[in-house]
Structures are given as structure tokens and as C-alpha cells.
Amino acid sequence: MLDVLERESAARGVRLGAGQIAQFGAYLDLLTDWQSRLNLVGSADPDTVVRRHFIESLALGAALREREILRPDSRVLDVGAGAGFPGVPIKIAWPSVDLTLIEATAKKAAFLEALVDALGLDRTTVLTGRAETLAHDRALRGSFDLVLARAVAPLPALVELALPFARVGGRLVSPKGSRADDEVQAAGAALSAIGGRTIVLPFDVPGPPQRLVVVAKLRETPAEYPRRPGLPAKSPLGGK
Ligand code: SAH
């Protein structure tokens, strides 16, 4: 399975060394072990984990690296990291990035802690909590070059949850399916309230078509955002 990973990564210009391949092997083992007690991913079948999670995350990193949105010294946040996607594969492939993972579910955050430990990742922090709360922490707010979020919320809510963490000039990036343009349309009010502007980029991954929604942070987010936990998803800005 890991040979597919090596090949698909190389095809995207990401050359993984033996140590990095071994880290992905250890990631797969730990995920399989924990999945029996905790539903971390829909399916922990190795083929699915490698293709749907490892390769997709690396493809995202490669697309962002190519556009200089991800740089070797970037301060990166993954909001709603779940079992670590896309943040951890990106950290394995570009080990000099500084990575923070935020996850609301304590058991998943415990997995992330065990993972960081097992892989020996440096400059990696796991925070247990909701983005709505943590985004008001002064050490986190407005301080990331790049905020990643995959499969966490529709764009109007996601902009409110995640964009406050980005510095002015930084980006929020989320892979989205074929409805990316509709989500961007719906996010107009959230973008103007939180202070962002969106572009949609092509995203070449195996499987169903996807696009990358890239939100540039244009100005400081007003202090009242994000609103209290649950509200961004329940009552999105600009929603009916
Ligand atoms: N990004 C991962 C997980 C997606 S599932 C992947 O692509 O595989 C969404 C995850 O986000 C869940 O683990 C959920 O607990 C977390 N989450 C949802 N809303 C959140 C919030 N407001 N703050 C922090 N974590 C959140």
C-alpha cells in the first residue's frame, strides 16, 4: 500500500524518504489499532486510508506548496483535524512547518497526542476544544499563515470558525466537492463580516472531482467573531 503512496506523491513532486514512508506506516498502524475502539475514520481499510486520507492530504500540500501558500517555515493550523487530516501528512512531508491541530472531541484529540508522540513530530501542538472558543485566545487568534479545514463545516460557518485564526495576509484553505461555487456564493455575508476574499482553484485528486476554496484574510476580524459555540453552524452569517 505504501508503494502507492510513494508513487502518487512523487507524481505530484513530493519525494518521500525512507524515514517519511516509515512514519506513514506507523500512522496507518496506530490508526488501525485505535479505530477498533473509537470511530476515527469512516473506514480504516488500509487502501482507503492511503488513498482517501494520506494521498489527498499530500496532494493538498503539494498544490499549496506549488503556489507558495505553504512554505517550509509556515505556521499551519488544522481546525477539526479528526484523525489528523490533512495536517499530519503535510507535517510528515514538510517537517519544518510549525503545526497546531484543533479537535473538539477529546478522544480524537487523545489519538492525535498519541500520534504526535509515536511519529516523533516536533513543533506540533494538539489543542482540545472548539474553534469558536479557541479563536478568542490571544496566542492563537490572527497568528497563522495557513489554516486548513477538511470536512468540518459548509463554507459560511467555516469562514467564521476558522478565518479568525489567520493573520492578515494569511489564508484559509478547504477542499470542497463539486458544490464549491455554491458554497462560495452562500458565504458572501460571512466573508465580509470576518474579513476575507475567496478564490476557487482546481484540485487534482483521484476519485470524485474536488476544488480548493482559498480564502485570503484581508483585514482583522471584529472581536465579536466567532460567535458562541454552535452558532456559526446553526445560524450561519447571511443565512435565512
Ligand atoms: N479533518 C478531518 C476530520 C473531519 S470530521 C478529515 O478530513 O478527515 C470533522 C471533525 O471536526 C470532527 O472530528 C469534529 O469533532 C471536528 N469539529 C467539528 N466542529 C468543530 C469545531 N467547531 N471546533 C473544533 N473541532 C470541530
Tens-digit pLDDT profile for residues 74-94:
999 999 999 999 999 999 999
What span, in angstroms and rounded, lies between the C-alpha atoms of 168 and 48? 36
**Model pLDDT for residues 136-168, shown as the tens digit of each residue:** 999 999 999 999 999 999 999 999 999 999 999
3-state class of 186 per DSSP? helix
Mutate to test the pocket of ligand 1, among 152, 172, 205, 235 (most ligand atoms within 8 A of CB): 152
Q: Whose CA is nearest to atom 10 of ligand 1?
A: 80
pLDDT at residue 1 above 90?
Answer: no
Distance 54 CA to ligand 1 centre (A): 17
What span, in angstroms and rounded, lies between the C-alpha atoms of 88 and 54? 9
> Is this prediction's pTM over 0.95?
yes
What span, in angstroms and rounded, lies between the C-alpha atoms of 225 and 217? 14
Please state, rounded to an integer, the average pLDDT across all residues of the chain.
96
- What mean pLDDT is predicted for residues 214-229? 98
Peptide bond into 89 cis (omega under 30): no
**Model pLDDT for residues 105-143, shown as the tens digit of each residue:** 999 999 999 999 999 999 999 999 999 999 999 999 999
Angle at 95 between CA 143 and CA 125, to 5 degrees: 45
Distance 104 CA to ligand 1 centre (A): 7
Q: Which atom of ligand 1 is nearest to the CA of 80?
A: 11
